[in-house]
Amino acid sequence: MAAPPSRRRQAPFLIGLVLILAALPVGWFVFLREPPAPLPPQAQPRPVVTQEEAKKAVELVLSSFEGTVDVKHGEAGAWEPARKDMPLRSTDVVRTGRGSWAVVLNGESVELRMEADTEISVAELSDQLSEFLLNNGMATATVRGRSNVRHTFILKAKGADAEASTSQGTFTMSNNGEGTVSVGTREGDVKLTGKEGKFVIVRAGQRSIVRPGQEPTTPVTIPSTVFMKMEWPTGKQRNREVAVVGHTDPGSRVTVDGASVPTDENGQFTVNLSLKDGANMVKVAAVSVGGARQDAQQELTYEAPPPPKPPKPPKPPKPGTIKVDTGVFQGTSP
């Protein structure tokens, strides 16, 4: 008996539906399935890095300067004029002259600005450590922290017990060359060490002083002004050489007519000046480690003493007077 016409019409539809359902898994496997992740490459063994290799040597650069700046390579080297972008290495020495300045860079980690009449020595350099010696004068260090390498900057004072160190910040150090050192911090924190390893933390806006053979003083707020008192000679000066005496804050940098003048541990100073004929304008400036400045000036007049009067000529003998060796005989000529 033949199937009804409606069933014959449904048969192709059912066969097609079965074929479509059967093809779905194959299509998903071919077109939609994510390819398997590639096998990771075989890890290579890490090379062993020694401590010496980790502290890579770096090179300083004298990036900019103005005025008279000299460099010598090693303590026994000869002084030579500085050149822009001049490379510096350990044991090199840099000095600035009167009215001069210089900036030394250690990559992106350290910037060291030297003021006039300042001398520094390079002690040690690496990508993790910069160590300098401030022989005398004033210098400002800016240390920038980096995320991948921790860099420590150390500035020691020659002839003193003071040592300042930081990993990030800005500070100024002055060294009078006789054992008195002042440190003022502008940004960050600075560890200031004195006698027998005793130290203080000098925070931003503070200063501390290390005197000969003493520990650092308790950090205090940096004054906004600089104290300076002068004792000027009075009246007209009869001597060409005069002494100018003054007093300022301990650790401040003093210049007289642009030339640096050393101060003692209490901030007192004396400078001998040679005067020219007539009026002499003498200018004095004191600068603190916080950047404050105080100026003073005075006109000193040199007036040469009058020349000595010539001796009076001897009086002529009176008439009728005869001079003899044994005295004076007076009489009348025959």
CATH number listed for the domain at residues 54-221: 2.60.120.1440
Q: Can you tell me the mean pLDDT for 42-59? A: 48
Task: Report the CATH architecture of 228-302.
Answer: Sandwich (2.60)
- Owner of token pair 């203080």: 200
62 CB neighbour count, 10 Å cutoff: 21
pLDDT at residue 270 in the model? 95
pLDDT at residue 54 in the model? 42
Q: For the chain, give every domain's residue range.
A: 54-221, 228-302
Work out the burial of residue 42: count CB atoms within 10 Å of its CB; fewer than 13 is exposed, 13-18 middle, 19 or more buried: exposed
pLDDT at residue 11 in the model? 62
pLDDT at residue 126 in the model? 84
Q: Can you tell me the mean pLDDT for 3-29? A: 60
Each residue's pLDDT tens digit, 94-146 = 999 999 999 999 888 899 999 999 999 999 988 788 999 999 999 999 998 76
Cα–Cα distance for residue pair 119/156, rounded to 1 Å: 12
- Owner of token pair 């100026």: 295
Q: Are 151 and 116 in contact (CB under 8 A)?
A: no
Q: Report the DSSP pairing between strands 321-324 and 327-330.
A: antiparallel
pLDDT at residue 304 in the model? 87
